[in-house]
Amino acid sequence: MVFDAPGLKCQFKKRLDQIEKALANKDSSIVKLHHHYKCESQKHLDSEMDKVLAKGGEGLMIKDPKCRYEHRRSDKLLKIKTFLDSEAIVIGHKNGSGRCENMLGALRVKDAKTGGRAFKIGSGFTDAVRLNPPKIGSTVTYKY
C-alpha cells in the first residue's frame, strides 16, 4: 500500500495525485495507492475511528493536505488513537541503565484485577518518579 511519496517536493495532495497518475495504467495486485479522504467533522472522525477499532485497528493518521514531506516527527501528521487504562500492583523494581543509571528502569507489576499476569512498565516516568518509585505492594494506574 502506497501512502506517500517522500521524494516528490510538493504538497501532500499533489503527491497523492502524482502517485495516482503513476499507478493508473498499472494493473497490479501487489502495488496499490492507499485511499485518503478529507475529514469533514468531529462526527466523521469518530465514525471512522469506530470502523477502524471494530476491525481491530489501532487508530487513524491525519495529515495536512498542504504540507510538504518532513523526514521527522511533525505536527503535520497526527496519530489519533484511543487508550485504555488499568491498575497493577508493584511487585518489584528493575534498575535503570544509561541515562537512568541509579534510578528506576522499570516497575515489575502484576495485574490488580486478576492478580495473575506479571509484566514490566518502563516508560512514561518522570525523573522524579524514577528517583522515588512507587513502593512494592502499592497500586499504580497504567495506560495502554
In a domain, 99, yes or no: yes
The whole domain housing 42 covers 12-81
* Same-domain check for residues 92 and 59: no
d(CA 140, CA 111): 10
pLDDT of 86 over the 80 cut: yes
**Which CATH number characterizes residue 126's domain?**
2.40.50
pLDDT score of 25 more than 90: no
pTM (2 d.p.): 0.59
Q: Strands of 118-121's sheet, edge to edge?
A: 118-121, 104-111, 85-95, 139-143
5 within a domain of the structure (yes/no) = no
Q: Which residues contact 38 (CB under 8 A, 6 or more apart)?
A: 65
pLDDT digits (tens, 9 = 90+) for 108-117: 999 988 877 8
Question: Does a structural domain hold residue 4?
Answer: no
Please tell me whether residues 26 and 61 are part of one structural domain.
Answer: yes
Residues 47 and 31 in one domain: yes
Within-domain flag for 2: no
Is residue 110 assigned to a domain? Answer: yes
Number of separate domains in the chain: 2
Mean pLDDT of the chain: 92
| Cβ atoms of 80 and 61 closer than 8 Å | yes
Specify if 116 maps to a domain: yes
Whether 57 has a pLDDT exceeding 90, the answer reads yes
Give the pLDDT band of residue 48 (cuts 50, 70, 90): very high
